[in-house]
């Protein structure tokens, strides 16, 4: 739905200094643009739970991190995100890819559609569903609103395939 | 031969200068007993296995600061991929110390899987070898307190990422670390100390 250059332009404007990620096939298409961005450092981690810990350390150190993972990685992240955003109350922000939301041709009956939004609610993460190109501006608006409120947040980006 | 966890940490306290020190689990318990420093981040409560990632984030945000992470072997096993995350990020200011006692000490000293696994030569899992295979170029092992005392400063001053595995003895009856205060307030105080 969105290109790497679009995302890089947006997060550069937001002052993001580091992207901590585990890519999927949709978000991963942003890699070239993220790698080329002069003011953004891409931190590649091995498992999604790590994204929250690394982002927590970056935040404590005065940087402005952004987590990028798929919803399956959100499921994996549970304890790490609980610790960072609830125990320590760190206002971390994530872009989460919503697998199969637009198209289930690859994975018919994908249970990501069943669990993603209830999991975000369970972890008390304020999220915005971005399910159409015209909602692009809501990513930045939600990020700014969360930052000003000092709370964590998620932009949930609808994806079409696994 | 093994080291004493308490003595090992006392040596660290003598050489850390103004480094950030992130501790988890048993290391947190004993580190807090030794003293306090504004640049200590006692990761209590923690998400087990995530201390190296937390330390990496601090190291990347503040490349002007030395960051030392004190982790246990149980925590290491819970997130072995962190070895690769750390070497991939290549933060020169990051040192990972693994205090390997072979057990989950804070829950009653149950054996870790690594302590029960045996290779062809009958040895348990060698965490230093795993770290080496994961890409740590700067790697140390210690099972003697005098050698640790002699080389601790070198380990910390070495351009990293550095990993040192210290074979320590379990402490009988040891319990989990107690939170030294409200976590959000401690996080804010730590961040403020880092800014100064």
Q: What is the pLDDT along chain B (196 residues), one digit of tens a residue?
A: 899 999 999 999 999 999 999 999 999 999 999 999 999 999 999 999 999 999 999 999 999 999 999 999 999 999 999 999 999 999 999 999 999 999 999 999 999 999 887 666 666 899 999 999 999 999 999 999 999 999 999 999 999 999 999 999 999 999 999 999 999 999 999 999 999 8
Least CA distance to B84: which residue of chain A?
A46
For A88, the domain range is: 4-158
pLDDT at residue number B122: 64
Any idea what the CATH number is for the domain that residue A35 is in?
3.40.50.970
Q: Are strands B94-100 and B162-167 parallel, antiparallel or unpaired?
A: parallel
* H/E element, B59: helix B51-61
- Give the containing element (helix H, strand E) for B187: helix B183-195
Distance CA B189, CA B187 (A): 5
Q: Is the ipTM of this complex over 0.85?
A: yes
Contact A54 B56 (CB under 8 A): yes
Average pLDDT, chain A: 97
Q: What is the CA radius of gyration of chain B?
A: 16
pLDDT of residue A88: 98
Q: What is the rounded distance in angstroms from the CA atom of residue A108 to the CA atom of residue A47?
A: 25
Fold classification of B5-195 is Rossmann fold (3.40.50)
Chain B nearest-CA distance from A131, in A, is: 31
Measured from the Cβ of residue B143, the count of other Cβ atoms closer than 10 Å reads: 14
pLDDT digit string (tens) for A65-88? 999 999 999 999 999 999 999 999
Pairing relation of β-strands B110-111 and B103-104? Answer: antiparallel
Q: Which two tokens stand for residue A67?
A: 């987590």
- DSSP characters over B60-129: HH-TTS-EEEEEEHHHHHHTTHHHHHHHHHT-TTEEEEEEE-SEEGGGT-EEPHHHH---TTS----HHH
pLDDT at A23 over 70: yes
By three-state DSSP, how is residue A130 classified? Answer: strand
What phi and psi, each to the nearest 5 degrees, are found at residue A133? -55, -35
Which of the four pLDDT bands, split at 50, 70 and 90, describes residue A97?
very high
Which of B61, B62, B64, B78 should be substituted to probe chain A, the one whose Cβ sees the most A Cβ atoms within 10 Å?
B61
Interchain contact, B47 vs A47, CB within 8 Å: no
Tokens linked to A99 = 């697998």
> Looking at chain B from residue 30 to 89, which residues have their Cβ under 8 Å from any Cβ of chain A?
41, 45-62, 65, 79, 81-82, 84-85, 88-89
Q: State the average pLDDT over residues A91-113.
A: 94
CB-based contact (8 Å) between A49 and chain B? yes
Reported as a pLDDT band with limits 50, 70 and 90, residue A104 is confident
Phi and psi (nearest 5°) for B121? -95, 10
Contact assignment for B57 to A58 by CB distance below 8 Å: yes
B161 interface with A at CB cutoff 8 Å: no
Total structural domains within chain A: 1
- Give me the residue from A63, A82, A90 closest to B61, CB to CB: A63
Q: List pLDDT tens digits, range A45-70.
A: 999 999 999 999 999 999 999 999 99
Closest by alpha carbon to A116, among A154, A142, A82?
A154
Q: Would an 8 Å CB–CB cutoff place A53 in contact with chain B?
A: yes
User: Touching check for A79 and chain B: CB below 8 Å?
Assistant: yes
pLDDT at A162 over 70: no
Q: CA of A13, closest CA in chain B: separation in Å?
A: 19
Cis bond upstream, residue B118 (ω within 30): no
Query: Which of A23, A88, A150 to mutate to probe the B interface, most B CBs <10 Å?
Result: A88
pLDDT tens track for B56-91: 999 999 999 999 999 999 999 999 999 999 999 999
The domains of chain B are located at 5-195
Please report, to the nearest 10 degrees, the dihedral formed by the alpha carbons of residues A47, A48, A53, A56 taken in order: 150
């Amino acid at each position: 739905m969105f290109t790497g250059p679009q995302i890089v332009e947006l997060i550069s404007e937001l002052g993001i200094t580091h992207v901590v990620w585990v890519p999927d096939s949709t978000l991963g298409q942003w890699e070239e643009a993220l790698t080329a961005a002069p003011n953004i450092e891409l931190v590649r981690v091995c498992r999604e739970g790590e994204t929250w810990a690394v982002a927590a350390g970056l935040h404590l150190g005065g940087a402005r991190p952004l987590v990028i993972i798929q919803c399956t990685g959100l499921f994996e992240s549970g304890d790490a995100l609980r610790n960072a955003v609830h125990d320590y109350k760190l206002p971390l922000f994530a872009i989460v890819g919503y697998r199969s939301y637009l198209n289930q041709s690859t994975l018919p009956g994908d249970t990501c559609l069943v669990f993603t939004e209830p999991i975000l609610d369970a972890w008390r993460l304020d999220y915005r569903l971005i399910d159409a190109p015209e909602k692009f501006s809501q990513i930045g608006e939600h990020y700014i609103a969360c930052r000003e409120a000092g709370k964590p947040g998620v932009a949930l980006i609808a994806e079409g395939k696994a | 031969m093994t080291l004493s966890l308490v003595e090992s940490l006392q040596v660290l306290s003598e050489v850390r200068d103004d480094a950030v020190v992130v501790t988890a689990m048993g290391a947190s318990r004993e580190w807090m007993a030794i003293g306090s420093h504004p640049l200590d981040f006692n990761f209590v409560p923690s998400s087990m296995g995530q201390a190296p990632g937390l330390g990496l984030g601090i190291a990347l945000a503040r490349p002007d600061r030395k960051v030392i992470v004190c982790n246990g072997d149980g925590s290491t096993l819970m997130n072995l991929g962190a070895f690769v995350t750390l070497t991939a990020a290549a933060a020169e200011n990051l040192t990972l110390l693994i205090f390997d006692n072979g057990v989950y000490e804070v829950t009653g000293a149950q054996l870790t899987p690594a302590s029960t696994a045996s290779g062809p030569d009958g040895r348990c899992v060698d965490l230093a070898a795993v770290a080496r295979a994961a890409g740590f170029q700067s790697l140390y092992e210690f099972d003697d307190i005098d050698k640790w005392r002699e080389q601790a400063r070198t380990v910390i001053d070495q351009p990293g990422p550095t990993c040192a595995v210290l074979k320590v003895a379990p402490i009988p009856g040891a319990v989990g670390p107690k939170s030294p205060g409200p976590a959000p307030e401690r996080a804010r105080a730590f961040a403020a100390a880092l800014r100064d």
